[in-house]
Amino acid sequence: MSVAVKLTNVVKRFGELEVLKGVSFEINSGEVVALIGQSGSGKSTALRCINQLETIQGGSIEVCGHRVEDPKLDVRALRRDIGMVFQSYNLFPHMTVAQNIMLALRRVKGMRKDEAYEVAKPVLAKVGLSEKIDSYPEQLSGGQQQRVAIARSLAMQPKVMLFDEVTSALDPKLTGEVLRVMEDLARGGMTMIVVTHEMGFAKRAANRVIYMHTGKVWETGGADILSNPQTPELKEFMAEEL
């Protein structure tokens, strides 16, 4: 199995504050990894470093052959290989669902309008929202918006998908519909790094769990570490999550 994402001793500082204190982990192609931990443990920051939304101060990150910390990195090429979904959906409010999905297909991949539309339709069907193709984001529920955001990302055929607390803004019912889409993706063999508080999702869909604490990888293993934590910190964290 080939390595899709590899972090080696990554250090990230915001001014004086050291958020990542030498984080290392590897993710293989096709693997689904849940990145868990308290707020402020650095899990979202780690995720954002992977596609260079944050620049790192030390260590190295390799994603599908791109060296992320390399000053000569082609950032657009990196981002073509990575899809990202955010907690706040970040759909473009002035565009319809179709336009949201087609924008990057046209501008980045240079597709014609009709070509892009033909790509948009099946991905939207995949997230179960075919009938919303001409809606504006504000006409959709949070869960629907998030599914469109996933579709928008998927349409670019990324090799790795990053999910940054994508259900944290949703109520349990809407959370369920988004998680189902993600579980489908996971079964389809997508490489996924999922920052989440949904332990149920982690147990069901993740091949591996990485628990971060105070800017370090604290414990890592199969989903079974959630029911059988080795460190007192993870034990305590799991107790709080339930």
Partner 1 sequence: MFGAFSTNHLIYLLDGLLWTVILSALAFLLGGIAGFFVMLARISRFRWLRRVALVYIQIVQGTPLLIQMFILYFGLGVFGISVPPLAAAGLGMMVYTSSYLGEIWRGAVGSIAKTQFEAAECLGLTRWQALQDVILPQALKIATPPTVGFLVQLVKNTSLASVVGFLELTRAAQVINNSLFQPFLVFGVAAFFYFCVCYPLSAWSRSLERKLNVGRR
CB of 161 to partner 1, least distance (A): 11
CB of 160 to partner 1, least distance (A): 12
DSSP code, position 19: E
Q: Which is nearer to partner 1, 74 or 224 (CB)?
A: 74
103 binds partner 1 (CB under 8 A): yes
φ/ψ of residue 49, rounded to 5: -70, -30
CB of 57 to partner 1, least distance (A): 19
Interface region with partner 1, contact rule CB under 8 A, candidates 2-10, 65-73, 80-88, 226-234: 80-88
14 binds partner 1 (CB under 8 A): no
What kind and span of H or E run contains 46?
Answer: helix 43-50
Q: How far apart are CA 93 and CA 100, in angstroms?
A: 9
Q: Is residue 3 a contact partner of residue 50, using CB atoms and an 8 Å limit?
A: no
Q: Which long-range contacts (CB under 8 A, 24 or more apart) does 61-70 make?
A: 61/5, 61/6, 61/7, 61/8, 61/10, 62/3, 62/5, 62/6, 62/8, 63/4, 63/5, 63/6, 63/160, 64/4, 64/5, 64/159, 64/160
94 binds partner 1 (CB under 8 A): yes
The footprint of partner 1 on residues 133-162 (CB under 8 A) is 138, 149, 152-153, 156
111 binds partner 1 (CB under 8 A): no
CB of 86 to partner 1, least distance (A): 6
By the criterion CB under 8 A, which residues form the site for partner 1? 51, 53, 76, 79-80, 82-84, 86, 88, 90-94, 103-104, 107-108, 138, 149, 152-153, 156
